[in-house]
């Protein structure tokens, strides 16, 4: 039975309370973070595990789902909910209580090393996927830990850099996914970011932790520091940090088979405190000396216990399930639903093809994910070469160029024995086949940002040479985000599959042969060069003297491209279908509380297909510069060939609000324009509304 929390707190000694506020070594060696509980009073341990692409219990396997960016590219919050549910079931099956997911930071810079672990450049899309994921996780009595709060938008110098960001940009761009996690999904826990925001480390940030998160939004759960990201005792305790993780030195934390070289720590980790835990003995001393009031400690413990009660830690809980047929299918479905068909002259889906040359340096291995704490060891995995070859076609594989090394933190990097590679051999294979499929990839990882927008190694050369020789060329990208495509005009189709996870090969075969259609739309803008983005100077990315200036304010992603009239390579929201759609006239009704936009969507092609109707607004603000268009609603719809569906979305008055530095959230007076479209650049109708 769940305890009465205030009486339980009364019974705990100060030492026992302190014991609940910092991590220690997991006796089972599986958890990423471990709170020992208090045996004397039947408070069980709490085990936390990484996230977010699957469960990374140390030394264990789990379903390797597609990267978060692929999930967001599906534009289906309901799919995110299914994913969250499956992730939680696997968390439970590994005996863990908290999953360190989702990661919801905004893609501010296209080179952000962890963008694959995050959702989008757009706060609305990111918030919808966040809510779906957390609702799914918590429906299974597992706690989600939304991370990294906040403005953790780069890896370079991540422990020290201060994001110099305006209040308005925080409110309109960086905070919304976190706010939705709290206010809509009722998330149990929040992880602080390593970085500083406007000069203060997030673990010490009283304004953002206490004033905004807890007081203003009403967050009732617990706040945990990122691993070794607690920077003080008294200040952090007073600021609103509740729990320090991992609370142990790296030597004690890393299992024997994990190669964490303490010598390398200055690069890999923030300065490790010279005490085992800043929220251990030092916190106890701070209470005894009166620097921290014991009531502050009690509140932290109450938050933790409340979270534990909410996920049923004191009762029988679901056992969970691992690697089920359902989870395997879901991993495959997310991979196809999130794949974005960027360009297609009709070559895809392949028909009347007897032979395929599958080319590319890593096409014989699946792209499970990026490097770092999100790495998952899968039970099963399928590669493009293997699964295309399993179809009724002749497949010949040539690497063409040397393999791209994949960064890994928890495994030995696979040494691919590639032998000699030759572009000529790939070109010959392409010339002999009915179609060439070139699989290209990047290598993104936690700890570092990407060093440019180009595909690494000689992959561009390979694609260019193949395209010149092949009858038809399909490029399959497995990238964390935008890449440049110097060969774009000479290839027939480009399919962005992100990091597809364990189902990589199966999903690709489904897409290429048309068993599934690519359901994805871009969750970020693909620019033509890094100069196209607001992060094109050192001061704005990755920063100078430990400061990175968010000078673009709210003009992030497509908002910036519009403002500066930069033509993207592919716009935010873009993605083709295997069928075609026609939009009717949008209509709008406003009953005072709710504004409804309805749009007839007709499938004018010959097969069933998915379309994503996107609703943008141009706000009626005169007092502050506002973006040309901002996404406020969307709906994915599946329509049968020749049929018509009416898509309806509801808007709220707050969708028209902007954040005024003096007055806070403000709904402007005057005429707003509501656009319906198929991407941030493809509008099919508009209606005016005065609020
Ligand atoms: C650091 C990462 O930033 C965070 O996302 C992860 O959950 C922890 N390490 C634990 O591995």
Tell me, what CATH number does 88's domain have? Answer: 3.20.20.300
Same domain, 330 and 305: no
State how far Cα 452 lies from the chain centre.
20
Domain assignment of residue 652, given as a range? 579-690
Cα angle 20, 21, 26; round to 5? 65
Assess if residue 219 is contained within a domain.
yes
Question: How is residue 132 written in tokens?
Answer: 């779906």
Residue nearest to atom 1 of ligand 1 (CA): 227
Assess if residue 550 is contained within a domain.
no
CATH number at residue 675: 2.60.40.10
| Burial track 630-655 (b if 16+ CB lie within 10 A, e otherwise) | bbbbbbbbebeeeeebebebebeeeb
Q: How confident is the model at residue 120 (pLDDT cuts 50, 70, 90)?
A: very high
Assess if residue 116 is contained within a domain.
yes
Same domain, 249 and 335: no
**Would you mind telling me the total number of residues written for the chain in this entry?**
691
Residue 400 contacts residue 366 (beta carbons within 8 Å): no
Maximum Cα–Cα distance across the chain: 80
Mean pLDDT check: name the lowest of 4-8, 14-18, 189-193, 590-594. 590-594
Same domain, 331 and 306: no
- Select which of 26, 97, 204, 226 is catalytic: 226
Neighbours of 471 (CB within 10 A): 14
| Atom in ligand 1 nearest the alpha carbon of residue 100 | 7
Alpha helices in 102-166 (DSSP H): 123-138
Cα angle 162, 168, 173; round to 5? 75
Which DSSP letter does residue 578 get? Answer: S
Same domain, 190 and 282: yes
Q: What pLDDT score was predicted for residue 620?
A: 85
Residue the block writes with tokens 């499970």: 368
45 HSE (CA, 13 A, CB side): 15
Neighbours of 329 (CB within 10 A): 13
Assess if residue 566 is contained within a domain.
no
Q: How confident is the model at residue 329 (pLDDT cuts 50, 70, 90)?
A: very high
Residue nearest to atom 9 of ligand 1 (CA): 227
Same domain, 241 and 275: yes
Same domain, 279 and 424: no
Please report, for the chain, how many H helices and E strands are present, in that order. Answer: 19, 26
What mean pLDDT is reported for the chain?
A: 95
Summarize the confidence of residues 113-134 as an average pLDDT.
98
Q: State yes or no: pLDDT of 267 exceeds 80.
A: no
- Ligand 1 pocket member 149 (CB < 6 A): no
**Helical (H) or strand (E) element with 474:** strand 473-478
- The sign of the torsion formed by the CA atoms of 50, 56, 73, 359 equals positive
| Residue of 373, 445, 449 best suited for mutating to test ligand 1, as the one with most atoms within 8 Å of CB | 373
**Helical (H) or strand (E) element with 655:** none
Same domain, 464 and 504: yes
Which DSSP letter does residue 3 get? Answer: P
Summarize the confidence of residues 203-208 as an average pLDDT.
98
Alpha helices in 318-382 (DSSP H): 325-338
- Ligand 1 pocket member 227 (CB < 6 A): yes
Residue the block writes with tokens 């393999």: 403
Same domain, 336 and 295: no
Tell me, in angstroms, the distance from the centre of ligand 1 to residue 108's CA. 19
- Ligand 1 pocket member 201 (CB < 6 A): no
Q: How confident is the model at residue 264 (pLDDT cuts 50, 70, 90)?
A: low
Same domain, 519 and 614: no
Q: How confident is the model at residue 411 (pLDDT cuts 50, 70, 90)?
A: low
Q: What pLDDT score was predicted for residue 6?
A: 97
| Residue of 115, 147, 148 best suited for mutating to test ligand 1, as the one with most atoms within 8 Å of CB | 147
Q: State yes or no: pLDDT of 415 exceeds 80.
A: no
Tell me, in angstroms, the distance from the centre of ligand 1 to residue 326's CA. 28
Which DSSP letter does residue 569 get? Answer: S
Q: What pLDDT score was predicted for residue 256?
A: 62
Domain count, the chain: 3
Mean pLDDT check: name the lowest of 185-199, 333-347, 583-597. 583-597
Residue nearest to atom 6 of ligand 1 (CA): 373
Angstrom distance (rounded) from CA 59 to CA 472: 44
Question: How is residue 474 written in tokens?
Answer: 């399909």
CATH number at residue 345: 3.40.50.1700
Residue 649 contacts residue 613 (beta carbons within 8 Å): yes
State how far Cα 624 lies from the chain centre.
30
Tell me, in angstroms, the distance from the centre of ligand 1 to residue 316's CA. 29
**Helical (H) or strand (E) element with 162:** strand 162-164
424 is catalytic: no
Tell me, in angstroms, the distance from the centre of ligand 1 to residue 375's CA. 11
Q: State yes or no: pLDDT of 266 exceeds 60.
A: no
Closest CA relative to residue 194, chosen from 156, 153, 229, 165: 229
**For residue 461, with 0-12 CB atoms within 10 Å meaning exposed, 13-18 middle and 19 or more buried, which class applies?**
middle
Neighbours of 323 (CB within 10 A): 17
Summarize the confidence of residues 198-218 as an average pLDDT.
98
**Per-residue model confidence as pLDDT tens digits over 14-62:** 999 999 999 999 999 999 999 999 999 999 999 999 999 999 999 999 9
| Residue of 158, 227, 410 best suited for mutating to test ligand 1, as the one with most atoms within 8 Å of CB | 227
Q: In Å, what is the CA distance from 332 to each residue of 175, 324, 382, 678?
A: 31, 13, 10, 25
């Amino acid at each position: 039975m769940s305890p009465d929390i205030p009486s339980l707190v009364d019974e705990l000694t100060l030492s026992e309370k302190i014991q609940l506020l910092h991590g220690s070594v997991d006796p089972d060696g599986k958890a990423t973070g471990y709170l020992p509980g208090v045996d004397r009073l039947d408070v069980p341990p709490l085990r936390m595990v990484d996230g977010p692409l699957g469960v990374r219990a140390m030394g264990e396997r789990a379903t390797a789902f597609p990267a978060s960016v692929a999930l967001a590219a599906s534009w289906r919050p309901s799919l995110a909910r299914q994913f969250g549910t499956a992730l939680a079931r696997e968390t439970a099956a590994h005996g863990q209580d908290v999953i360190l997911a989702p990661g919801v930071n905004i893609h501010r810079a296209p080179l952000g090393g962890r963008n694959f672990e995050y959702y989008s450049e757009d706060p609305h899309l990111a918030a919808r996927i966040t809510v779906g994921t957390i609702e799914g996780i918590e429906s299974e009595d597992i706690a989600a830990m939304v991370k990294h709060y906040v403005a953790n938008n780069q890896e370079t110098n991540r422990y020290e850099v201060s994001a110099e960001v305006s209040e308005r940009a925080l409110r309109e761009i960086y905070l919304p996914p976190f706010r939705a996690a709290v206010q809509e999904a009722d998330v149990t826990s929040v992880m602080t970011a390593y970085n500083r925001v406007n000069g203060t480390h997030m673990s010490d940030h009283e304004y953002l932790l206490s004033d905004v998160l807890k007081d203003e939004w009403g967050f009732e759960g617990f706040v945990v520091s990122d691993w070794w990201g607690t920077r003080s005792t008294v200040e952090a305790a007073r600021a609103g940090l509740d729990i320090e993780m991992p609370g142990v030195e790296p030597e004690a934390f890393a299992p024997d088979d994990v190669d964490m070289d303490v010598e390398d720590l200055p690069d890999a980790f923030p300065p490790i405190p010279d005490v085992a835990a800043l929220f251990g003995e030092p916190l106890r001393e701070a209470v005894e000396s009166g620097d921290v009031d014991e009531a502050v400690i009690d509140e932290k413990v109450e938050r933790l216990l409340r979270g534990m009660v909410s996920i049923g830690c004191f009762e029988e809980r679901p056992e969970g399930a691992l690697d089920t047929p359902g989870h395997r299918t879901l991993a495959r479905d997310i991979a196809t639903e999130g794949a974005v068909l960027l360009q297609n002259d009709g070559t895809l889906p392949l028909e009347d093809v007897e032979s395929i040359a599958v080319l590319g340096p890593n096409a014989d291995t699946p792209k499970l994910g990026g490097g770092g704490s999100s790495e998952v060891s899968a039970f099963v995995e399928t590669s493009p070469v293997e699964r295309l070859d399993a179809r009724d076609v002749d497949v010949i594989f040539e690497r063409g160029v040397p393999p791209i090394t994949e960064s890994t933190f928890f495994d030995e990097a696979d040494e691919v024995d590639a032998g000699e590679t030759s572009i000529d051999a790939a070109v010959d294979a392409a010339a002999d086949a009915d179609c060439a499929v070139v699989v290209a990839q990047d290598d993104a990882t936690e700890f570092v940002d990407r060093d440019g927008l180009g595909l690494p190694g000689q992959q561009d050369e390979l694609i260019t040479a193949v395209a010149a020789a092949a009858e038809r060329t399909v490029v399959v990208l497995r990238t964390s985000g935008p890449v440049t495509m110097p060969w774009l005009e000479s290839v027939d189709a480009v399919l962005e599959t992100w990091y597809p996870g364990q189902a990589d090969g199966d999903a690709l075969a489904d897409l290429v042969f048309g068993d599934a259609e690519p359901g994805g739309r871009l969750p970020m803008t693909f620019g033509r060069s890094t100069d196209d983005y607001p992060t094109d100077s050192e001061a704005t990315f990755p920063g100078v003297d430990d400061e990175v200036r968010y000078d673009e304010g709210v003009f992030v992603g497509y908002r910036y491209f519009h403002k500066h009239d930069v033509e993207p390579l592919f716009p935010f929201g873009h993605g083709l279908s295997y069928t075609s759609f026609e939009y009717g006239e949008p209509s709008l009704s406003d009953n005072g509380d709710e504004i409804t936009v309805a749009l007839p969507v007709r499938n004018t092609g010959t097969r069933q297909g998915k379309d994503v109707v996107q609703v943008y607004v141009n706000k009626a603000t005169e007092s502050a510069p506002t973006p040309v268009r901002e996404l406020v609603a969307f709906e994915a719809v599946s329509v049968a060939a020749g049929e018509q569906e009416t898509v309806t979305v509801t808007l709220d008055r707050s969708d028209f609000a902007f954040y005024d530095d003096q007055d806070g959230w403000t709904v402007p007076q005057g005429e707003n324009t509501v656009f319906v479209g198929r991407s941030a650049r493809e509008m099919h109708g508009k209606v005016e509304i005065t609020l």
